[in-house]
């Protein structure tokens, strides 16, 4: 199949967006076989050409940080915060993450599949073809495994690739409130080996913060993950600068996420590893944070920047990656090009996926056709969905092209 007459944002090379003004993409066996200017398209293969009418074609979007699977909701806390309560205070009083833990423990697997499917559908409508989903609202071994199974199941029942992260170190469960060391032990010695054995997690994540895990506790989790050969990620420097990102860089983390409080020293540390900086403007927006992530330093040290919804019931009930791109531009000063790179090429890096995120020969043929002429149009509007069609592994799975 040749997708012809497209404006191509390949996200490769040095040109902004890797733009090819009048391009074509040849897809064979679910992979991109060729991409380039239309006039150079391999002639012998143009039998099954589809005219895309000059519209924009991008890689499939990748949401590289979500907490999509959870029970209950936290609209009440949204209301409490608007009545003056602080996010950290709600958490200390047993609300916050712990209230979602209670609801998630109670929910049956089917209910979780059901509620998460509705949320997932919102993302897929906007061209998401790969999503990362974290556990972290179960905390006990059984519920963490239940969440990860639900995440895997979503990948089997929807047109999307699901990548999972075990986030047992999200917060301390009520039953371990007075014995943090024992909980860290449970995560490292019991939960992680069981989850790795069942192949339920593709990576291990933690929340390093004053209200969550210390640097020393986080390091124990990283060491255990490393022993099992699992890559790591970290919620770091969201509300304060504890030095979590530096630790993550030492463990060659795939990504450090949030990082509003990261300083230049920390940026230099992650620049020396393969670690991607994942910005989460949804949480910044909902928590009305004032501290901006160090975008200038990230650029200066050439750290790849990704962006993600952080979809979760507390700090970021955001169900739109396009909105997130807009927020990254308006709130953090990213360019629309950086925003698109942040949900394609760099989001793939943040998940350690080398086979997607760009339009280049050999990569997975996950593509989105937009009712748009220029790639800059994607981050520009709020609440408009210009997605015309989604192509996954070379097949049209949503919308139509004609
Ligand atoms: O990424 N920062 C920690 N975890 C989530 C919030 C989870 C919650 O509030 O339920 C986040 O923002
Ligand atoms: Fe998160």
Stretch among 162-166, 266-270, 380-384, 398-402 having the lowest mean pLDDT? 398-402
The rounded mean pLDDT for the chain is 96
Cβ atoms of 61 and 128 closer than 8 Å: yes
Report the pocket of ligand 1 as residue ranges, CB < 6 Å. 67, 96-97, 100, 207, 235, 238, 283, 310, 312-316
Rounded to a whole number of angstroms, the CA Rg of the chain reads 21
Per-residue pLDDT at 264 exceeds 80 = yes
Give the integer Cα–Cα distance in Å for 129 and 21.
24
pLDDT band at residue 150 under the 50/70/90 scheme: very high
- β-strands 203-208, 233-236: how paired? parallel
pLDDT band at residue 44 under the 50/70/90 scheme: low
pLDDT of residue 331: 98
Per-residue pLDDT at 142 exceeds 90 = yes
Q: What is the pLDDT of residues 75-115, one digit of tens each?
A: 999 999 999 999 888 988 889 999 999 999 999 999 999 99
Give the integer Cα–Cα distance in Å for 192 and 210.
23
Minimum CA distance residue for ligand 1 atom 1: 310
pLDDT of residue 45: 61
Q: What is the pLDDT of residues 153-210, one digit of tens each?
A: 999 999 999 999 999 999 999 999 999 999 999 999 999 999 999 999 999 999 999 9
Ligand nearest to the CA of 97: 1
Per-residue pLDDT at 10 exceeds 90 = yes
Q: What is the pLDDT of residues 209-221, one digit of tens each?
A: 998 999 999 999 9
Ligand nearest to the CA of 65: 2
Give the integer Cα–Cα distance in Å for 357 and 355.
7
pLDDT band at residue 43 under the 50/70/90 scheme: confident
Give the integer Cα–Cα distance in Å for 183 and 206.
13
Give the integer Cα–Cα distance in Å for 229 and 234.
16
Name the residue with higher pLDDT: 145 or 94: 145
Minimum CA distance residue for ligand 1 atom 9: 314
Stretch among 74-88, 108-122, 249-263 having the lowest mean pLDDT? 74-88
Cβ atoms of 376 and 367 closer than 8 Å: no
pLDDT of residue 58: 98
pLDDT band at residue 376 under the 50/70/90 scheme: very high
Per-residue pLDDT at 50 exceeds 70 = yes
Per-residue pLDDT at 339 exceeds 80 = yes
CA of 309 to the centre of ligand 2 (A): 9
CA of 298 to the centre of ligand 1 (A): 23
pLDDT of residue 47: 66
Give the integer Cα–Cα distance in Å for 266 and 316.
25
CA of 202 to the centre of ligand 1 (A): 20
What domains, with CATH codes, occur in the chain?
Answer: 2-59+358-399 (2.30.40.10), 61-350 (3.20.20.140)
Q: What is the pLDDT of residues 290-329, one digit of tens each?
A: 999 999 999 999 999 999 999 999 999 999 999 999 999 9
The pick from 312, 324, 350 for probing ligand 1's pocket by mutation, whose C-beta has the most ligand atoms within 8 angstroms, reads 312
Per-residue pLDDT at 378 exceeds 80 = yes
Ligand nearest to the CA of 66: 2
């Amino acid at each position: 199949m040749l997708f012809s007459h497209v404006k191509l944002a390949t996200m490769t090379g040095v040109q902004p967006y890797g733009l090819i003004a009048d391009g074509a993409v040849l897809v064979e066996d679910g992979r991109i076989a060729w991409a380039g200017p239309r006039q150079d398209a391999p002639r012998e293969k143009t039998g099954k050409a589809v005219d895309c009418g000059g519209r924009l074609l991008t890689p499939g979007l990748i949401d590289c940080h979500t907490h999509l699977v959870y029970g209950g909701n936290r609209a009440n806390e949204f209301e409490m915060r608007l009545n003056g309560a602080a996010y950290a205070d709600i958490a200390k009083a047993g609300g916050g993450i712990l209230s979602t833990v209670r609801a998630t423990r109670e929910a049956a697997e089917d209910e979780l599949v059901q509620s998460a499917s509705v949320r997932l559908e919102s993302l897929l409508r906007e061209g998401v073809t790969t999503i990362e989903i974290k556990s972290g609202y179960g905390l006990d071994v059984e519920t963490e495994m239940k969440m990860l199974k639900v995440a895997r199941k979503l990948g089997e029942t929807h047109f999307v690739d699901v990548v999972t992260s075990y986030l047992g170190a999200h917060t301390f469960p009520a039953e371990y409130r007075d014995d943090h060391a024992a909980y860290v032990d449970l995560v490292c010695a019991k939960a992680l080996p069981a989850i790795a054995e069942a192949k339920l997690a593709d990576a291990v994540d933690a929340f390093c913060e004053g209200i969550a895990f210390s640097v020393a506790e986080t390091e124990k989790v990283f060491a255990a993950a490393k022993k099992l050969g699992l890559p790591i990620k970290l919620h770091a420097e969201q509300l304060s600068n504890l030095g979590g990102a530096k630790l993550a860089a030492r463990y060659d983390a795939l990504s450090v996420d949030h990082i509003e409080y990261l300083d230049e020293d920390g940026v230099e540390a992650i620049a020396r590893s393969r670690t991607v900086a994942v910005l989460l403007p949804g949480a910044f927006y909902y928590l009305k944070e004032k501290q901006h992530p160090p975008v200038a330093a990230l650029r200066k040290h050439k750290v790849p920047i990704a962006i993600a919804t952080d979809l979760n019931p507390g700090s970021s009930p955001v169900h739109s990656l396009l909105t997130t791109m807009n927020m990254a531009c308006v709130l953090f000063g990213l360019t629309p090009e950086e925003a698109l790179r942040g949900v394609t090429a760099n989001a793939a890096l943040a998940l350690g996926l080398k086979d997607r995120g760009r339009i280049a020969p050999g990569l997975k043929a996950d593509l989105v056709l937009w009712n748009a002429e220029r790639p800059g149009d994607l981050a520009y509007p709020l609440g408009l969905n210009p997605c015309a069609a989604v192509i996954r592994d070379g097949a049209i799975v949503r919308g139509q092209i004609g």
